[in-house]
Structure 1
Amino acid sequence: MQKFLNWLEKVLTPLAKVIGENKYLIAIRDGFLISTPLLIVGSFFLLLANFPIPNWSNMISPILGNNWESLMSVPASASFDVMTILAVVGIAYSLGRQLEIDAIQSAALALVSFFILTPYTTLFTPENSTKVYEVTSLPLKWMGSSGLFLGMIIALVSTRIFAAVIHRGWTIKMPDGVPPTVVKSFEALIPSFVVVTIMFVLNWLVSLTSMGNLQDVIFTFLQTPLLSLGNTLGAMIIAYLFLHFFWFFGINGSSVVGAVFNPVLRALSVENMQAFKDGHEIPNIITGQFQDMFATFGGGGSTLSLIIVMVLFCKSQRVKKLSQLSLVPSIFGINEPIIFGLPIVLNPIILIPFALVPTINIIISYFAMDWGLVPYTNGIQLPWTTPPIISGFLVSGWQASVLQALLIVLGMAIYYPFIKVLDDQYLREEKEAEELEAEEIDFDTFDFDEI
C-alpha cells in the first residue's frame, strides 16, 4: 500500500502543484472558503427541518408552532440560495488581491457584472389560478448553485479586465493630499465603466438569441448531451460521469443532469410502486430510489465514504476539523461543506475517486439486483435525508442494507489513497506554516543589544 501511495503522490502532487500555483484556480479555491462556514451552519438547519423520523413534524409543532419547518428552512435557504453571490464576491476578492488591485472594488464590480448577465424575471402562478405570469424579481435559482458556473467565470473575467485597465493607467489621477479612500474610488471609475459596458454589450447580444439570457444559454448547452440518454445501465453511468464532471468545475451537476434524467427515473419509480402495491412482479432496476439509495451515500461523489476515511485516518488539522463538522450532515445526504470546504471543486487529486466511487456503486448494485441477490426497489418515496442502511431496508429489504454497508466500505477503500495524498500535502503546509511562525517569534536569536 505504501508503494502505491508513494506512486500516487508522485503522479498527482506535481499536477496539484501546477494547478495550485495558478492564480485563477487559487482565486476559485479561496473564494469558496467564504461560503464554507455558512454552508455547514445551513446544513444543520436543513437537517433539522427534514429529519427522517416518522411524525417528526407533528412532534415539534407543539413546541415551535405549526410553521416551524418553514422558519427552520430560512437559515438553510439564506446560505444555500445565495451560494453563487458569496462565491462571486470571494473569487473576485481573492483574484483582486493577487493582481494587486483594490480587492473590495473587484468584488463589488464582479457582483454587479453577474447581476447584469442574470435575468430579472421569474415565472409565477397565482393561487387558485392556472395562468403563468412572468414577473420582475431576482430568481433564487441563479443565485444558488445553478448559477455557480457563470458566477465563477464572471468573477474571473470582470476582475481580470478591471486589473488590465488599471495597469494600463486608464484611471483618473487625483492630486496629493486627497484621502486614500477617495483616490481608490476615483481610480476605479473608468475601469468599472469599461467592465460594466462590456457586460452590458454581452447581455444585449445574448438577448437577441432565442434563449434570451446567458444563464439559460449555458444551462441548455450543458444539458444537450444528456437529452439522448435512456434508462439503461450505460445511460446512468454516462449521466453520473457527466454529473460529477460538472461538480468538479463547481457546477451543480445534480441540477443539470437531474433536469433531464430525473423525470424518467420518477416514471420508473411509479411503475415499481404500482406493481408493488398490486402484488405484481416489480419491473425496473433503475429508478429514482436506485439512484438515491445506491449510487451516492452522503451526496454527490458518495462522499460519506470519503468523510469516514478523513475522520479515521487523516492527520492534518484542516482535514480532521472539516470532516468532524461534515460527518453528521453527510449521513443525512448533505455534502456541500465537503464539496467546497476540502475542496473537491478543481481538486485533481480527488477527481478520480469522486467520479469512480458512484460509478462502481451503480454497476455493483445493478448486477446485484439483476442476479437476484437484492430485490428491486419498491418505489416508495422516502425523505431524501434518510440515512443509508435504513433507506436500503425500507425500499428493498435487508439485503439492500447489507449491500449499502459493503458499498460504503468499498468507497472508503477507493478514497483512502487519494485523500492520504491530499492529507500529506496539507500536513506539510501546516508544518511549514508552524516553522515560519516559530522563526518570526524566535526570541533565542533576538539580540536585545541592538535595541
Structure 2
Amino acid sequence: MNNVLGFLEAKLMPLAARTAQQPHLCAIRGAYVSFMPFIIVGSILLVISSFPNQTYQQFMSQAFGENWSAIVEIPFNAVFSTMALFISFLVAYRLAEQRADDRLSCGVLALVCFLILTPFLKVAENGGITVMPVEWIGTRGLFVAMIGSLLWTELFCWLKRKKLVIKMPDGVPPAVQESFAALIPALLVMILVLAIRIGFENTPYRTIHQFIYEVVATPVRHFGTSYFGALMTVFSITILWSVGINSGSMVNGIIRPLWMENQTDNIAAIQAGTTPPHIITEQFFDMIWMGGAGATLSLVIAMLIFARSKNMREVARLGAGASLFNINEPVLFGLPVIMNPIMLIPFNLVPLVLVTVQYVAMKIGAVAVTTGVFIPWTLPPVISGFIVTGHLSGSIMQLLNLLIGAMLYLPFIRIVDKQYRSAERNMENAANALAKQE
C-alpha cells in the first residue's frame, strides 16, 4: 500500500494539480460557481411549487389561486430556460480574467457569438416576427456555449496580442480605449462565427447546435451519466483526496455540464407529472457524499460508537458537527485518513459500494429518482435525500447508506483504534514510570 501511495504522490498529484490549474477548466468551473446561487434559488422555488403533498397543494391553491404554482415557477424557468446565455458570458468572463484581458468585452462577445450561431424562430411569416429559440438557449445549448466561449475568447485575446487594434491618442479615457481596442478583434471573430453558421446551414445538421448535440454531447453525456461513469466520478474524487487534493469542486466542475441536461429532463418530467427518466444527476451524488468525500459521516458514526482510544473519540467528537454539514477536513486530516494506508482502503471503497446499492435501488423503483432540484451542498443528510427525491424513500436510502458505510469502515477503524490504544498505553506507562522515578 505504501508503494501505491508513493506512486500516487509522485505521479498523480502533479498531474491533478496541473489539471486543477488548467485555465479553460478553471473558467468553466468558475462560471458554474458564479451561476450556482441562481440555480439553487430557482430550485427552491420549484420545490415550493411542486412539493409532493396533496394537502399542501390544496392549501396553496385555496390560499393563492389555482395558478399559484405557475407564477412561482416563473423565476425558475427564467434561470433554467436561458442558462446557456449566462454560461456563455461567464465562461468567457472567467477566462479573460485569467488572461488579464478585457473581461466585459470577452463576455459580451461570447454571448453575441452564441446568438449568431443560434437560429431564431419565425413565428409570424407575414409580420416577420422572430423569437429566441428556447431549445438551444437552455441546457441543450451548454456545450456550444462553453466550447464557443473558450474559442472566441482565446482568439479575441490572440488578435489583441498581435496588435490588431485601433490605437487611440494619449489622454483618451481608459474605458474608451478598451472599447476601440476591441473593435477589430471582435469584428474578425464575429465574421468567423457567421461563416461557421452559414457553413453548417449547408450540412444535414443545419446548425452547429444540432451537430454538437448529436455527435459530441449526447455520446459523452450517455457515458458520463451511466453507472460506470458514476463509479469513475466518485473514484476520481476519492483517489485525488487520498493524496490531499481537494478534488470535489474540480471534478464536479468538469462533469456538471453532463449532469445538467439530465436534471432539466427530470425537472420537466416532474412538472408534467411523470417519472423522472434519469438516475445519474448531481443530486444522486449529493445523496452519496454524506459527511463529504468518502461518505465520512459513516466513519464518524462508527468511531463514536465503537472507538475506544482517546485520540479517535476526540477526532470523532470534533468532526461530528462539521460532518453533518458535509465538511470533513477535520476528520480527513485529524484521524488522519489522507495518506493513511489503512483508512484509504474504505475511503475509496465505500463510495463505490454506495453508488452501486443506490443505483440498483433507483433502477428497480425501490427508491425515488432524484427530481433534478439543486440543493446547497452543506444540506444535512436525510433532509437532503427527501428534498432531492421529493419522497421519503430518499431519506431511507441515505440512512441505509450510512449503515452500509459504517459497516465497511468498522474493520479498518478497529485496526487503527488498536494502534492508537497501544500508543496511548505506552505513553501512560512511560508517564507512570517517570512519575515513580521522581
> Closer, same or farther in 2 for the Cα pair 1:389/1:88, shift >3 Å?
closer
Q: Who is 2:286 aligned against? A: 303
Identical columns (%): 26
> Closer, same or farther in 2 for the Cα pair 1:200/1:256, shift >3 Å?
farther
Q: Who is 2:91 aligned against? A: 91
> Closer, same or farther in 2 for the Cα pair 1:112/1:324, shift >3 Å?
farther
Q: Which protein is bigger by CA-based radius of gyration? A: 2
Equivalent residues in 2 for 1:34-183 (5 A)? 34-121=34-121, 136-183=130-177
> Closer, same or farther in 2 for the Cα pair 1:136/1:47, shift >3 Å?
same
Structure 2 Cα separation of the partners of residues 227 and 94 of structure 1: 24
Structure 2 Cα separation of the partners of residues 323 and 120 of structure 1: 48
SS at match of 2:66: coil
Q: Which residue type is aligned with residue 356 of structure 2?
A: I
Does the aligned pair in 1 maintain the 2:288–2:354 contact within 8 Å? no
Deviation at 1:303, TM superposition (A): 1.6
Q: Who is 1:184 aligned against? A: 178
Q: Who is 1:275 aligned against? A: none
Does the aligned pair in 1 maintain the 2:88–2:110 contact within 8 Å? yes
> Closer, same or farther in 2 for the Cα pair 1:11/1:408, shift >3 Å?
farther
Residues paired across the two proteins, number? 332
**For 2:357, which of 351, 357, 361 is the aligned residue?**
361
SS at match of 1:35: helix
Structure 1 Cα separation of the partners of residues 104 and 192 of structure 2: 20
Q: Who is 2:196 aligned against? A: 202
Structure 1 Cα separation of the partners of residues 361 and 110 of structure 2: 45
Structure 1 Cα separation of the partners of residues 73 and 390 of structure 2: 28
Q: TM-score when scaled to structure 1?
A: 0.58
Deviation at 1:143, TM superposition (A): 2.2
Gaps of 5+ in 1: 127-133, 230-234, 264-269, 271-287, 315-319, 327-351, 370-375, 416-451
Structure 2 Cα separation of the partners of residues 4 and 414 of structure 1: 21
SS at match of 1:52: coil
Structure 2 Cα separation of the partners of residues 394 and 48 of structure 1: 14
Q: Which residue type is aligned with residue 149 of structure 1?
A: F
> Closer, same or farther in 2 for the Cα pair 1:224/1:103, shift >3 Å?
closer
After superposing on structure 2, the runs of 4+ consecutive aligned residues of structure 1 that deviate more than 6 Å are 1-11, 226-229, 239-247, 256-259, 320-323, 352-355, 378-387, 389-395, 411-415
> Closer, same or farther in 2 for the Cα pair 1:228/1:302, shift >3 Å?
closer
Does the aligned pair in 1 maintain the 2:88–2:111 contact within 8 Å? yes
Deviations 1:211-259 (A, max 9, x none): 1111111111147659999xxxxx9646867999998444344647998
Deviation at 1:159, TM superposition (A): 0.6
Deviations 1:376-427 (A, max 9, x none): 64999997879757999989xx9x9866632465579999xxxxxxxxxxxx
Does the aligned pair in 2 maintain the 1:96–1:103 contact within 8 Å? yes
Does the aligned pair in 1 maintain the 2:167–2:181 contact within 8 Å? yes
> Closer, same or farther in 2 for the Cα pair 1:27/1:139, shift >3 Å?
same
Does the aligned pair in 1 maintain the 2:350–2:405 contact within 8 Å? no
Gaps of 5+ in 2: 235-250, 301-314, 316-320, 328-347, 374-382, 410-438
Structure 2 Cα separation of the partners of residues 2 and 170 of structure 1: 55
Structure 2 Cα separation of the partners of residues 228 and 38 of structure 1: 26
> Closer, same or farther in 2 for the Cα pair 1:321/1:76, shift >3 Å?
farther
Q: TM-score when scaled to structure 2?
A: 0.59
Q: Who is 1:251 aligned against? A: 257
Q: Which residue type is aligned with residue 108 of structure 2?
A: A
Does the aligned pair in 2 maintain the 1:305–1:408 contact within 8 Å? no
Deviations 1:306-343 (A, max 9, x none): 154379689xxxxx9999599xxxxxxxxxxxxxxxxx
Does the aligned pair in 1 maintain the 2:23–2:98 contact within 8 Å? yes
Q: Who is 2:340 aligned against? A: none
Equivalent residues in 2 for 1:194-343 (5 A)? 194-222=188-216, 225=219, 237=227, 248-253=254-259, 255=261, 295=279, 299-309=282-292
Moved more, 218-227 or 63-72: 218-227
